[in-house]
Structure 1
Amino acid sequence: MRGDDLMQHAFFDRIHMRIIDVLRRDRTYAESMDYAIRSRNTHMRSLLYVYDGKGTMVLDGVSYPLFAGCVFHFPLNRELLINCSREHPICYFTVRHDYKFIEWEGTSIRWTEPGDHVLPFDYVVPMPDKESMLADLQRLHNVWHNKQTGYEWESKLAFLNLLQRISEQQQHLEENNVAAQSILQSMDYIRNHYHEPLERETLAKKASLSTSYFSVLFKKQTGYSPVQYITKIRLDKAKMLLRQKHLSISDVAREVGFQDPLYFAKVFSHEIGVPPREYRNM
């Protein structure tokens, strides 16, 4: 299990949540606030979901773009500015909350103040399913304000499920980012080792990915399959070498990783449109 996975599990295992309020802020509210919300020292933890408009959150001097479909949050005791334009007023749900951590010691409970701890994901997280998120926040808002029997527990449960969903999205984004880095490293490896035997299985192993998943990610990120990219790099290098008249076609083939000059000539002709010898004389 990765370190960030452990951190997220530890957070949810220990948290004792209290919801303070659930609010919906529309363009009328943005207008009433002159399209800016300022706080020199935030006094309440809040998680917000933007369902329309766009703007910026400035937290302790650091700017974060806000947009429809994103979740954002801020902890206590921070300098905060949320602003937007008249043309695109930011509309959002906000869940004001507080929490403590509890730890069992035998049959006793020890309470811990979160301090500077924040929720186990980035300050801004893009969520993939806008309609589902909007429906869930609207449902939470309705439960909270209808005040039916058991509404506090139902609201807390819905909010914890929402936090888990955001946490899983954060993990998904991080995994995609790690995978993207692996593909970039694979591309770099191909550019530096094009003259050597390059097998898709070997490249996937270096990237710590299965062969099939590696191929899918490589195609998604580069537009080429691994074999197509290897061929492209080799032929680009071959075109440069062919301009050096002292190298034979066989020498060029071997220099760029083709052990069979005839196969090299066939691939070159198919991809470039002319045979290597004709290309050299162009």
Structure 2
Amino acid sequence: MDQDFMNRFMPRVIDVLIRDKEHWSNHQYEVEIPLTRMCNMGYVFNGEGKLEINDESYKLRKGCFYHVSPPGVRLKFTTESSNPLLYIAVHFDYRLMEWEGRELISKVSRTSLRLPHVLELESVTRAEEQFRQLLQLWKDKGPGYEWRSRNFLIRLLDQLEGMQASKPLSELRAEHSIHRAMEHVHEHFREPLNREEMAQYCSLSVSYFSLLFKKYTGYSYVQYLHKVRLEKAKMLLRNGFAPVSEIARDIGYEDPLYFSKLFTREVGLSPRDYRKG
């Protein structure tokens, strides 16, 4: 997480809560949010489960920190009744603040926190203690609890950023390059983004870019681009009435027939059937 980002980072804690066995029993051991409206981070203190962010899957177990940001993604948690996922969750939002002369400007950020979505923490006891302190602070609702919770959250993120700094420089650079590529795809998916151009954007050779992209995302670059476009198509099909051909062009496919074949292959339904369903 770069220091320029943290200098401007201003979070607002919305809720701090614990997800226990009763929670999972009430939700049949699966929670899905089709489109998140806030950021989510947490610490797993027991059990095992899975976190999916826009169909990217991550394993969660004791000692894992996770975060989901920015808002506007599909989020899904799953676990098993035999060993349910127990964690403390922090729901928050944030804006980026900066001074322009004597005026303070607030900007909505569409950028994810500069951390991997899942981290396995070495100091398990210390991490759990800190998250429980934040939970208690929020539950007590004492004087100034909102700004104290905000400061607590910033300190937690600062410590996690310090853990990242202990990684080898080459690994950090590789992660950062792929993170930039993923952000670029999400922002420019309508454009004809080929692999060679993205490798050049990241200042990497095509072969090394392809290797790193697969390593850090689990997808080839082309698969990932299709996935981002199809997620956008699903949203447009669910929430609007535009013709399929118009949606195809809007997400970067000039050939509506190719788009329909790709959508049917990846989703299991044609675009028209998906809209009806």
With the length of structure 2 as denominator, give the TM-score of the two structures.
Answer: 0.59
| Number of residue equivalences | 172
Note if 1:108 corresponds to 2:90.
Answer: no
Alignment of 1:236-275 (within 5 A): none
Is the contact made by 1:122 and 1:170 (CA closer than 8 Å) also made in structure 2?
A: no
Look up the SS of the partner of 1:173 in the other structure: coil
Q: Partners of 2:8 and 2:52 in 1: how far apart?
A: 30
Alignment match, 2:91 = 96
Alignment match, 1:66 = 60
Q: Which runs of 5+ in 2 are unaligned?
A: 173-277
Please state how far the C-alpha of 1:177 moved relative to its aligned partner: 4.5
Please state how far the C-alpha of 1:39 moved relative to its aligned partner: 1.2
Q: Partners of 2:145 and 2:136 in 1: how far apart?
A: 10
Look up the SS of the partner of 2:2 in the other structure: helix
Q: Partners of 2:74 and 2:27 in 1: how far apart?
A: 17
* Residue identity matched to 1:121: L
Is the contact made by 1:102 and 1:112 (CA closer than 8 Å) also made in structure 2?
A: yes
| Residue 88 to residue 176, structure 1, CA distance change in 2 (3 Å) | farther
Q: Which runs of 5+ in 1 are unaligned?
A: 1-6, 179-282
RMSD across aligned positions (CA): 1.7
Please state how far the C-alpha of 1:77 moved relative to its aligned partner: 1.1
Q: Partners of 1:174 and 1:149 in 2: how far apart?
A: 42
Note if 1:135 corresponds to 2:94.
Answer: no
1:56-112 CA distances to partner (integer Å, 9 max, x unpaired)? 111111111111111111121111211111111000011110110011112111111
Name segments (4+ residues, structure 1) moved above 6 Å: none
| Residue 41 to residue 134, structure 1, CA distance change in 2 (3 Å) | same
Is the contact made by 1:103 and 1:109 (CA closer than 8 Å) also made in structure 2?
A: yes
Note if 1:48 corresponds to 2:31.
Answer: no
Please state how far the C-alpha of 1:23 moved relative to its aligned partner: 0.5
* Residue identity matched to 1:150: G
* Residue identity matched to 1:144: W
With the length of structure 1 as denominator, give the TM-score of the two structures.
Answer: 0.58
Look up the SS of the partner of 1:118 in the other structure: coil
Q: Partners of 2:170 and 2:21 in 1: how far apart?
A: 34
Q: Partners of 2:167 and 2:28 in 1: how far apart?
A: 34
Alignment match, 1:83 = 78
* Residue identity matched to 1:83: T
Please state how far the C-alpha of 1:170 moved relative to its aligned partner: 2.1
Alignment match, 1:169 = 163
Identity of matched residues, %: 27
